[in-house]
Homo-oligomer: A and B are copies of this chain.
Amino acid sequence: VSRLSRDDWAAAALTALSEGGVRGVAVEPLAVRLGTTKGSFYWHFSTRRELVVAALELWERRSTSEVIETVEAAGGTPEQKLRLLFSRAFDPRSLTGVDVRLVAHAGEEPVSEFLDRVTRRRMAYIADLLRSAGHTHDQSARRAAVLYAAFLGNLHLMHTAPDILSDAVGSLSEYADDVVRFVLGP
Contacts and interface: CB of A to CB of B under 8 A. Distances in A.
A105 to B, nearest CB: 7
A25 interface: no
Indicate how many identical chains form the complex.
2
B150 A119 contact: no
B100 A104 contact: yes
Please classify the interface of chain A as helix (H, G, I), strand (E, B), loop, or mixed, using the class held by over half of its residues: helix
A88 interface: no
Interface residues of A, number: 40
A164 B151 CA distance: 16
Given A100-B106, A105-B21, A123 B164 contact: yes
Interface string A117-155: 001100100000000000000000110111011111110
B157 A152 contact: yes
Given A105-B21, A123-B164, A159-B103, A150 B148 contact: no
12 contacts: A100-B103, A100-B104, A102-B104, A103-B156, A107-B159, A115-B161, A120-B164, A148-B157, A149-B153, A149-B156, A150-B150, A152-B156
